[in-house]
Amino acid sequence: MSTLGTVQGDFQDYLLRGSQAVTRHVQGSARVPVATRLGIYADAYRSRLAEALAANFPALAALLGTDDFRELAWRYIAAHDSPFFSIRYYGHELAQYLGAHADYAEVPLLTELARWEWSMAGVFDAPDAAVLTHAALAQLAPQQWVRLRFTLHPSVARMELTWNVPQLWRALTSGAERPEVTLNREPVSWVLWRQEINSYYRSLPPLEARALDALRDGWPFAELCALLCEELGESAAPAQAAALLRGWVEAGMITGAA
């Protein structure tokens, strides 16, 4: 007699790898043979994963269209099992898949759009955290600022994009008129974050991108100021440092300073 664990394992192997060991546990009939019975579950499993991909990548699905996205989903499902308890997280390797697969890598816009959509979903799902306030910063003694390090909100994400992906994503997900796809002369820096229940994103000037990355990497405030001095000079750097910090705090991007 087969144990429940054996049946479950064989059924999983059938769904994921096409193993036929499960057929010994299933009874068929002349009207509904074993292959048909099992095929119903296999098709439902793949269809549910395809639905999850469409939900997680709505702009990509809209851009490709129903038939082409279904083909992409079926290919991805065949190459990637779902390792998560929740299919909300299914598709975490789709961007890498698009970048590596010969049929899709020749259109790098698809990879960037998938990266963007996955990052936006991650921003929304990131843990909550109490944000730093200007009032808390005002309580710090002047001598503390030299070694002061800041902690970014868990939702903050950084990206470099070579295509106008954010504009395209916004149009595809809102039903607005689709902009012309354009390639940037140089990669554009973007920051994404969540403030309370709303997700935000904006492009970053190169110097702010460098400063924000340095802050994320744990640079103390004195070193951030030195970075700005190299670009702006000693007279302009303090005001720029204060302006950047004020903007990040007001946006809810920083949770702590120590």
d(CA 171, CA 165): 10
pLDDT score of 53: 96
pLDDT score of 18: 55
pLDDT score of 22: 56
pLDDT score of 46: 80
Task: Measure Cα distances from 156 to 9, 107, 159, 240 in Å.
Answer: 40, 28, 10, 21
- Per the structure block, which two tokens stand in for 98? 């698009």
d(CA 128, CA 254): 12
pLDDT score of 45: 75
d(CA 167, CA 179): 7
Q: Tell me the whole-structure pTM to 2 decimals.
A: 0.86
pLDDT score of 87: 84
d(CA 11, CA 9): 5
Per-residue pLDDT tens, the chain, 258 aa: give them: 567 565 455 455 555 555 565 556 556 566 656 555 555 555 567 888 999 999 999 999 999 999 999 999 999 998 998 888 888 899 999 999 999 999 999 999 999 999 999 999 999 999 999 999 999 999 999 899 999 999 999 999 999 999 999 999 999 999 999 999 999 999 999 999 999 999 999 999 999 999 999 999 999 999 999 999 999 999 999 999 999 999 999 999 999 999
d(CA 239, CA 244): 9
CATH 3.90.930 fits 129-258, yes or no: yes
Give one DSSP letter per residue of the chain, joined into a string: ---HHHHHHHHHHHHHH---GGGGG----SSS-HHHHHHHHHHHHHHHHHHHHHHH-HHHHHHH-HHHHHHHHHHHHHH----SSSGGGTTTTHHHHHHHSHHHHT-HHHHHHHHHHHHHHHHHHSPP-PPP-HHHHHTS-GGGGGG--EEE-TT-EEEEEEE-HHHHHHHHHHTPPPPPP-EEEEEEEEEEEEETTEEEEEEE-HHHHHHHHHHHTT--HHHHHHHHHHHH-TTTHHHHHHHHHHHHHHTT-EEEE-
pLDDT score of 82: 84
Q: With contact defined as beta carbons under 8 Å apart, do 119 and 157 qualify?
A: yes
Residue type, 237: A
Using one digit for the tens of pLDDT, what is the confidence trace for 122-145? Answer: 999 999 999 999 999 999 998 999
Domain locations in the chain? 129-258
pLDDT score of 7: 47
Residues 6+ apart with CB under 8 A from 172: 58, 59, 62, 63, 178
